[in-house]
Amino acid sequence: MTTLRDALIQGFEYDLWANLKWMAHLEQRGWPEPERGIFCHILAAQNTWELRLRGESPTSLVAPEPSEASLLDLHTRWVGSLEGDVELVIAYKRTTGEARAMPVHAIARHVINHGTYHRGELRGLCRAAGEEDFPETDMAGFFTS
């Protein structure tokens, strides 16, 4: 039986798989804008939310440099964060200073879905530019690869 924690970890495994594919694609294309900014936003959000789990409330999003090492570091930190109580409610402040609170499992699902949303945005930009060789990173592909 899959636990909530197992499902969340699997979600982050999918997220890493998809981000590595997009990073390789964007590197091959020379990191064009706005695609680089969108990809860095994915990493910045992941980093910011993980810092919030550790009790920090950054006042701005800070993106790690896009590299395999930074993606693996974020993944490792997230999996480590899920070793605790995923029902624990985390109090944090948004970058605007507004106080909020959510359970760890909801934060984790938000981060995974946020990455999926923005990778879809990357796909749309590629398609609009007439590009057809962008990576397919639907979750079904992750489960069947």
Kindly indicate the confidence band of residue 145, based on its pLDDT and cuts at 50, 70 and 90: confident
Widest Cα–Cα separation across the chain: 46
Kindly indicate the confidence band of residue 2, based on its pLDDT and cuts at 50, 70 and 90: confident
Residue 59 has what pLDDT? 87
Kindly report whether the global pTM for this prediction surpasses the value 0.75.
Answer: yes
Predicted confidence (pLDDT) per residue in 74-117, tens digit? 999 999 999 999 999 999 999 999 999 999 999 999 999 999 99
For the cut 90, the answer to whether the pLDDT of residue 62 exceeds it is no
Cβ atoms of 35 and 122 closer than 8 Å: yes
Averaged confidence pLDDT in the chain: 95
